[in-house]
């Protein structure tokens, strides 16, 4: 591990913990550096974010009082190196002390040295007896996940693999495994741009669970379909690949540029519109709508461990209100008999089943349950109402999947 890696990881942790910035945004804001160092810094910061509660529990007995936030980040980085990443003890301690000095925290260099030497002496035994899944999960999420909480939190301890959706007729790059739902999986840390066929548009990155909602909409050639909240376009690509006439609606102009670039790489076509999907109206009623609503993204914590630190219960309340507005708008876009798939990458019932139950009360919609055959490979994710609720604890032997909720509704 280089100093550049540790410096990048420190900057990323500072952005998340002290400025409440999303990790991806902080990555974009890092100065110019080698791609390798950037990727390694990202992985190191993600390891700390994933296991912050556990690392704090290890450090706690060696601290007389809570250290300032930047010092805590350095201690967490050092402890992660020692206990999670097998960094040699001398190097982990010395580089943490060096980082403290370099970041204007020289008065704390002695503390960093003393605490990390104690952690190094304890070694892996420091982790024994700790309930890591519980320590690494904020209490409000643990409560909201109910009896699934422990299994979900255990799955969050591990880095997620890379999943791809293949373009029609394309071959999978070497080194992957085909999953029961047809996605292809590669080991954690795989760099997508280095896989064979990337530039030629043979595939796009999409978690196995994220690939399900568009498939369950079952768009047919020539159908008029809207993909609402569309960037970066994974689901737009699926709908276009199915032969539908797709309009992708996205309100963030910068993200819409990325969507267009992705479609161009994949040689797929869709009309793109920069608009608020809650206000946009199609020129004529649509056959089908995919609403991948903005959500708390708690289903993606294993890919984005910052989410567990940044989201609050109040965010879920506000997002739920927005989801209702988008459901109202999506319903109004459909012709009678037209279908809507509502999806969120959230594990919170408030953003999933509760939104759909409320929409069924309020809007001219009826539920069209997914059949077990449609959910082949993920039948355990079928809810009593015939909706889909995947969690990271599904497919434990294959490396899990993101948490997603999806329901299919028909306009009456
Ligand atoms: N469907 C995308 C895919 O599969 O690649 C992922 C969508 S992601 C959940 C959220 C996206 O919705 C962001 O790009 C965000 O800018 C966009 N968004 C959020 N609120 C929106 C709104 N009211 N109208 C249109 N787009 C919105």
**Identical fold between 4-135 and 205-411:** no
Ligand 1, pocket-test mutation among 231, 297, 327, most atoms within 8 A of CB: 231
Domain at 4-135: CATH architecture: Orthogonal Bundle (1.10)
What local confidence, expressed as pLDDT, does residue 270 receive? Answer: 98
Q: Give the Cα separation of 268 and 203 in Å (integer).
A: 11
Confidence category of residue 242, pLDDT binned at 50, 70, 90: very high
Tens of pLDDT, residue by residue over 142-193, are 999 999 999 999 999 999 999 999 999 999 999 999 999 999 999 998 999 8
Q: Where are the domains of the chain?
A: 4-135, 205-411
Question: Cβ(249) to ligand 1 under 6 A?
Answer: yes
CATH superfamily, with its number, for domain 205-411 = Vaccinia Virus protein VP39 (3.40.50.150)
Question: Cβ(402) to ligand 1 under 6 A?
Answer: no
Q: What is the mean pLDDT of residues 217-244?
A: 98
Tokens of residue 364, six digits: 């001219």
CB atoms within 10 A of CB 28: 9
Please tell me the pTM assigned to this model: 0.95
Tens of pLDDT, residue by residue over 187-221, are 998 999 899 999 999 999 999 999 999 999 999 99
pLDDT value at 1 more than 70? no
What local confidence, expressed as pLDDT, does residue 31 receive? Answer: 87
Cβ(317)–Cβ(389) below 8 Å: no
What local confidence, expressed as pLDDT, does residue 86 receive? Answer: 86
Tens of pLDDT, residue by residue over 44-73, are 999 999 999 999 999 999 999 999 999 999
Tokens of residue 96, six digits: 């943490």
**Please, what is the end-to-end C-alpha distance for the chain in angstroms?**
59
Q: What is the mean pLDDT of residues 78-92?
A: 93
Strands ordered across the beta sheet of 203-205: 177-178, 184-186, 162-166, 203-205
Ligand 1, pocket-test mutation among 251, 307, 342, most atoms within 8 A of CB: 251
CB atoms within 10 A of CB 363: 18
Task: Say if strands 184-186 and 177-178 run parallel, antiparallel, or are unpaired.
Answer: antiparallel
Residue in 324, 411, 320 with CA at minimum distance from that of residue 368: 411
Task: Say if strands 224-228 and 203-205 run parallel, antiparallel, or are unpaired.
Answer: unpaired
Q: Give the Cα separation of 374 and 33 in Å (integer).
A: 46
281 three-class SS: coil
pLDDT value at 131 more than 90? yes
């Amino acid at each position: 591990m280089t100093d550049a890696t540790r410096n990048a990881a420190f900057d990323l942790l500072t952005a998340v913990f002290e400025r409440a910035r999303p990790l991806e945004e902080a990555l974009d804001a890092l100065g110019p550096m080698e791609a390798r160092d950037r990727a390694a810094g990202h992985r190191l910061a993600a390891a700390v974010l994933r296991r912050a509660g556990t690392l704090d529990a290890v450090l706690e007995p060696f601290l007389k009082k809570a250290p300032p936030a930047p010092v805590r980040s350095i201690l967490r980085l050092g402890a992660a190196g020692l206990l999670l990443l097998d960094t040699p003890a001398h190097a982990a301690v010395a580089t943490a002390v060096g980082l403290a000095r370099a970041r204007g925290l020289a008065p704390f260099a002695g503390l960093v040295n003393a605490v990390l030497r104690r952690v190094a002496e304890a070694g892996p035994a420091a982790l024994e007896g700790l309930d890591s899944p519980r320590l690494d999960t904020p209490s409000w999420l643990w409560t909201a996940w109910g009896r699934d909480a422990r299994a979900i939190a255990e799955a969050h301890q591990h880095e997620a693999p890379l999943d791809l959706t293949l373009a029609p007729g394309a071959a999978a790059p070497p080194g992957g495994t085909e999953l029961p739902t047809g996605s292809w999986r590669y080991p954690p840390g795989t760099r997508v741009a280095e896989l064979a066929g990337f530039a030629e548009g043979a595939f796009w990155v999409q978690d196995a669970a994220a690939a399900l909602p568009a498939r369950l909409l079952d768009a047919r050639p020539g159908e008029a379909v809207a993909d609402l909240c569309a960037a970066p376009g994974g689901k737009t690509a699926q709908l276009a690949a199915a032969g539908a006439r797709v309009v992708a609606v996205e309100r963030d102009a910068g993200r819409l540029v990325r969507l267009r670039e992705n479609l161009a790489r994949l040689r797929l076509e869709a009309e793109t519109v920069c608009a608020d999907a809650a206000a946009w109206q199609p020129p004529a009623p649509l056959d089908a709508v995919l609403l991948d609503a903005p959500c708390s993204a708690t289903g993606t914590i294993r890919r984005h461990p910052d989410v567990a630190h940044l989201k609050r219960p109040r965010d879920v309340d506000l997002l739920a209100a927005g989801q209702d507005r988008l459901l109202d708008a999506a319903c109004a876009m459909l012709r009678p008999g037209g279908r809507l798939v509502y999806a969120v990458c959230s594990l919170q019932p408030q953003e999933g089943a509760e939104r759909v139950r409320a929409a069924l009360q309020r809007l001219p919609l009826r539920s069209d349950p997914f059949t077990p055959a449609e959910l082949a490979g993920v039948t355990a994710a079928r809810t009593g109402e015939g909706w889909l609720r995947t969690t990271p604890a599904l497919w434990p032997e294959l490396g899990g999947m993101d948490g997603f909720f999806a329901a299919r509704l028909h306009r009456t």
